[in-house]
Amino acid sequence: MQKFTQLTSTIVPLPNEDVDTDQIIPARFLKATTRDGFGENLFRDWRFHPDGSPKQDFVLNNPTHGGAVLAAGRNFGCGSSREHAAWALYDYGFRVVVSSFFADIFRGNALNNGLLPLQVSPAFLHQIFTAVAQDPTTVLSVDLEQQIVRIGADGPQEQFDIDPFRKVCMLNGYDDIDYLLSMKEEIEDFEQAAQP
Amino acid sequence: MAAKTLFDKIWEAHVVKPVEGGQDVLYIDRHLIHEVTSPQAFDGLRQRGIPVFRPAQTIATADHNVPTLHQHLPIVEPLSRFQVDKLTENCREFGIELYGLGHAWQGIVHVIGPELGITQPGMTIVCGDSHTSTHGAFGTIAFGIGTSQVEQVLATQCLLQKKPKRMRITVDGTLASGVTAKDIILHIIAQLSAAGATGYFVEYAGSAIRALSMEGRMTICNMSIEMGARGGLIAPDEVTFEYVRNREFAPKGSDWEKALQYWQTLHSDPDAVFDQEYYIQAEDIAPMVTYGTNPGMGIPVDGAIPQVSAEGGASFEKSLEYMGFAPGEKMLGKTVDYVFIGSCTNSRIEDLRLAAAYVKGKYKAPNVRAMVVPGSKQVEQQAKAEGLDRIFAEAGFEFREPGCSACLAMNEDKVPAGKYCVSTSNRNFEGRQGPGARTILAGPLMAAAAAIAGKIVDVRA
Ligand code: SF4
């Protein structure tokens, strides 16, 4: 997993609420057996017509917007547990998703893949959308160490929460699995003790 | 000793070690895997050069991608075939039991776990699939995980998890005739919204829940995830024990007695405290249908589509536009093109019996294509033994072979763009049943009635 410390980037606004993982990556694209290449089909049915031509009104096809930050409406990532959603966002180039609320499984999947699910207050999210609408070159600065997110060079800023364990993992690029593997003995002891 | 909830009791019994920062190392008793969310996890093990830690606690099946006709023949679609073959190879290489195509126990992962007695009270169960919550019906902590976590469980039989908050939803009273478990859960989700239980694990309680069969309880727990909850569970009781008794992998003899003794302790203490509680009166629940593109957008079948959503906003309008509906419209009388009876929500024998009893001696409307997809090989066999397949065939329904099928349309069972499908599955997301497909969620009885009438009807009328 790649480390994440800080990032300053322009923002792709997607104000839709309840964006489910079937929209992020439709099921018919889950047939791959590796983690690569899912970015191509990110938001497939919102992004492309059935004949493969781009839907001009979808934000990813709008040259005005771009960047490594996706700002989305509340309850982002609900629905299916498919980690392919996090892979697709990452593969496309996103490193941060900002929303006022994330679905649980998506949040975990994102964190396990170096994609920061950044939860801000509804008011702050609204400020982000307003700022981007006024000026598409507005940047968002994220400092994970300090847990601070700021709009523009000197715009409003907000402190954000992240589980301390997850923070350490993100900052250092650790996977849970490394940690769990280091606990083998304790796990075996637990199994022994649990045997009736 | 402080009063504990059922959830607390099971969780605490599985904590290997608390970790600084609020996570627990949680031991997983059973791990279910399928072809779609496991290949990258096995690759991870290979890259690390490590084995599956407890292969005997891992069970595999092929369900998401499989065709539901001619399962004895090789899969035609190359990518699906590749993925299913990959699962077979991985299971062979890592020593995991596979109930794949052609096996008498193959079926949807959340249908076969319970019917084989793999799912038992007090366990922790995970699967790379959000509807793992289904198993909670047995008084089990069961939840869906991502592929990285599948890899973690394969490697260590453990997960790092933050303990969710506790919610209890009590449904008391008696259901009106024509109202089923599916209607209870669609009613609950409509009340709480698609995100209303995020961060929680839900216990369902109350006399209306107690009165349900295991099939009904599974339908309820199955859809916990649709209101954002990590999972749902129901305290085990005689109904549960009778269901588990004598199943293939259920404890036998003195092991059974010992297990039973433990299972009987699995309930929330009378004064246990929940972070959030809701009360619902069973008499207030009507047969439900959804009108929008998330499962929280449900109304009583005789109700009207709201003028604006509780949250308001563009997402509501976008949703109605996708569905081709307008605010204030009635759902009754809306034309239906497809009916799908299946999925891990409603594909068990009881669901098929309910639908068959309704359609017996009737014939589907000419404008409808109706599919019945049993949840497992065993359900299929049972249905055939009871003659349900013939009843469906005589009513003009296709009775197919088991799999996820049109629930997520990864195989060829798709609903065409713009068409309306009354579906007993759990998700009405845009494109879920095929690009452009419009899904109306309902219970098996309402779905059967819609197939016969060719439009949305009220089964009570
Ligand atoms: S039936 Fe549908 S919801 Fe259930 S496991 Fe299969 S795809 Fe998932």
Query: Which of B65, B217, B145 is closest to A80 using CA atoms?
Result: B145
- Could you tell me the CA-to-CA distances from B68 to A2, B102, B398 in Å, in that order? 41, 12, 11
The average pLDDT across B55-74 equals: 94
Per-residue pLDDT, A144: 98
Q: Last residue of some domain: B225, B251, B284?
A: B284
> What's the pLDDT tens digit per position in A91-147?
999 999 999 999 999 999 999 999 999 999 999 999 999 999 999 999 999 999 999
In Å, the largest CA–CA distance within chain A is 65
Q: What are phi and psi of B421, to 5 degrees?
A: -125, 120
> What's the pLDDT tens digit per position in B329-346?
999 999 999 999 999 999
Which residue is listed with tokens 């649709």?
B226
Mean per-residue pLDDT of chain A? 95
| Residues B112 and B185 both lie in one domain | no
Structural domain range at position B306: 288-453
Q: Is A171 on the interface with B (CB under 8 A)?
A: no
In a domain, B461, yes or no: no
| Residues B279 and B410 both lie in one domain | no
In a domain, B296, yes or no: yes
| Residues B121 and B193 both lie in one domain | no
Query: Which of B107, B77, B84, B92 is closest to B38 using CA atoms?
Result: B84
- Give the Å distance between the CA of B407 and the centre of ligand 1: 6
Residue nearest to atom 4 of ligand 1 (CA): B344
Could you say which of B20, B86, B148 has the minimum Cβ distance to residue A175? B148
Whether residue B326 has pLDDT greater than 70:
yes
| Residues B140 and B240 both lie in one domain | no
CB A101 to CB B17 under 8 A? no
Give the three-state DSSP class for A132: helix
- Report percent pLDDT > 90 for chain B: 93
Q: Which two tokens stand for residue B443?
A: 């219970």
CB B148 to CB A165 under 8 A? no
- Asked if residue B344 has its Cβ within 6 Å of ligand 1, the reply is yes
| Residues B135 and B204 both lie in one domain | no
| Residues B417 and B430 both lie in one domain | yes
Is-contact B272 B5, C-beta < 8 A? yes
> What's the pLDDT tens digit per position in B69-106?
999 888 999 899 999 999 999 999 999 999 999 999 99
Alpha-carbon torsion A188, A190, A192, A194, what sign? negative
What chain A residue is nearest to B147 in terms of C-alpha separation?
A83
**DSSP 8-state code for residue A97:** E
CA–CA separation, A68 and B104 (whole Å): 48
| Residues B221 and B362 both lie in one domain | no
A31 vs B313, which has greater pLDDT? A31
Whether residue B310 has pLDDT greater than 60:
no
**Structural domain total, chain B:** 3
**B172 exposure class (CB count in 10 Å sphere: 0-12, 13-18, 19+):** middle
Per-residue pLDDT, A187: 97
Could you say which of B147, B294, B311 has the minimum Cβ distance to residue A83? B147
Sequence letter at residue B190 = A
| Residues B89 and B195 both lie in one domain | no
In a domain, B170, yes or no: yes
CATH number of the domain enclosing B72: 3.30.499.10
CB B410 to CB A191 under 8 A? no
| Residues B260 and B331 both lie in one domain | no
- Give the Å distance between the CA of B137 and the centre of ligand 1: 17
Dihedral, B93, B99, B100, B103 alpha carbons, nearest 10: 130
In a domain, B372, yes or no: yes
B108 vs A32, which has greater pLDDT? B108
In a domain, B242, yes or no: yes
In a domain, B238, yes or no: yes
Whether residue B307 has pLDDT greater than 70:
yes
Give the three-state DSSP class for A165: helix
Q: Last residue of some domain: B284, B313, B333?
A: B284
Per-residue pLDDT, B270: 96
In a domain, B48, yes or no: yes
Helix B39-48 and helix B147-156, axial crossing angle in degrees, nearest 10: 50
| Residues B441 and B399 both lie in one domain | yes
Is-contact B424 B443, C-beta < 8 A? yes
CA–CA separation, B129 and B33 (whole Å): 9
- Report percent pLDDT > 70 for chain A: 99
User: At A171, which helix (H) or strand (E)?
Assistant: helix A164-172
The number of C-beta contacts closer than 8 angstroms across A and B is 185
In a domain, B460, yes or no: no
Q: Last residue of some domain: B161, B177, B205?
A: B161
CB B16 to CB A190 under 8 A? yes
ipTM metric? 0.91
CA–CA separation, A94 and A104 (whole Å): 19
| Residues B337 and B221 both lie in one domain | no
Model pTM score: 0.95
- Asked if residue B425 has its Cβ within 6 Å of ligand 1, the reply is yes
In three-state form (DSSP H/G/I as H, E/B as E, the rest C), the secondary structure along chain B is CCCCCHHHHHHHCCEEEEECCCEEEEECCEEEECCCCCHHHHHHHHHHCCCCCCHHHEEEECCCCCCCCCCCCCCCCHHHHHHHHHHHHHHHHHCCEEECCCCCCCECHHHHHHHCCCCCCCCEEEECCHHHHHHHHHCCEEEECCHHHHHHHHHHCEEEEECCEEEEEEEECCCCCCCCHHHHHHHHHHHHCCCCCCCEEEEEECHHHHCCCHHHHHHHHHHHHHHCCCEEECCCCHHHHHHHCCCCCCCCHHHHHHHHHHHCCCCCCCCCCCCEEEEEEHHHCCCEEECCCCCCCEEECCCECCCCCCCCCHHHHHHHHHHCCCCCCECCCCECCEEEECCCCCCCHHHHHHHHHHHCCCCCCCCCEEEECCCEHHHHHHHHHCCHHHHHHHCCCEECCCCCHHHCCCCCCCCCCCCEEEECCCCCCCCCCCCCCEEEECCHHHHHHHHHHCECCCCCC
CATH number of the domain enclosing B194: 3.40.1060.10
| Residues B365 and B220 both lie in one domain | no
